[in-house]
Amino acid sequence: MPDSNTNILAVGVGGQGIILASEILTYALMNAGYDAKKSEVHGMSQRGGSVNTHIRFGKKVYSPVIKEREVDILFAFEQLEALRYFGFLKPGAMVILNNHTVNPPSVSLGIDEYPGDVPQTIKKRFPNFHLVNGLDLALKIGNSRTANIVLLGVLSKYIKVEENSWIDAISKVFPEKLININIEAFRLGREEG
């Protein structure tokens, strides 16, 4: 195990399943024998607001929140929210972006404009960039609500954790009847995303 820790920042919009995906990620890291911490803010952020979750893992983790400019992987569920956290990324950080937009209120009201071509802006600054059509993939298995787990499957390709640790984590977090479809979603992301 390397001495330095890995920092993942998961961002998006309340209701996209970010906190649940982060929970599974943290369980998988624990299952794999890492020290791991996850931190987020509940409450106001649940109602369609901006959400961010910090996940840190390695040999020994102190702070539950990531230092500015120390994010190794930005795990973004929404385009504008990905841009919002640019300042937290390490130079050379990896970005996994769900190709999805949700208008903030000021855009819906016609006051502000949604930023243009976000994937291109990100790719320019962070060439280590992976664009995923999470919703399309989720619809492939017939359940749009599994998009977050498809995205987690994509992320899993870049983290040194065996598949069974992920599967155990998914099985722990979901109720019985939702386990199989989410394992399917996870594998789809891991293989095709």
In angstroms, rounded to a whole number, what is the distance separating the alpha carbons of residues 99 and 136?
Answer: 10
Nearer Cβ to another protein (4/192): 4
Residue 177 binds another protein (CB under 8 A): no
In angstroms, rounded to a whole number, what is the distance separating the alpha carbons of residues 174 and 181?
Answer: 10
- Total residues in contact with another protein, by rule CB under 8 A: 50
Of 67-106, which residues contact another protein (CB under 8 A)?
A: 67-69, 80-81, 83-84, 86-87, 103-106
Binding residue for another protein, selected from 2, 3, 43, 120, defined by CB under 8 A: 43
Nearest distance, CB of residue 154 and another protein, angstroms = 22
Residue 114 binds another protein (CB under 8 A): yes
Residue 50 binds another protein (CB under 8 A): yes
Q: How far is CA 177 from the centre of its chain?
A: 24
Residue 45 binds another protein (CB under 8 A): yes
Binding residue for another protein, selected from 1, 4, 63, 124, defined by CB under 8 A: 63
- Using the contact rule CB under 8 A, the part of the chain among 20-28, 92-100, 126-134, 178-186 near another protein is 20-28
Residue 127 binds another protein (CB under 8 A): no
Residues in Cβ contact with 8 at an 8 Å cutoff, skipping those fewer than 6 apart: 25, 54, 55, 56, 71, 72, 73, 74, 75, 155
Residue ranges in contact with another protein by CB under 8 A: 13-14, 23, 26-27, 30, 35-50, 61-69, 80-81, 83-84, 86-87, 103-115
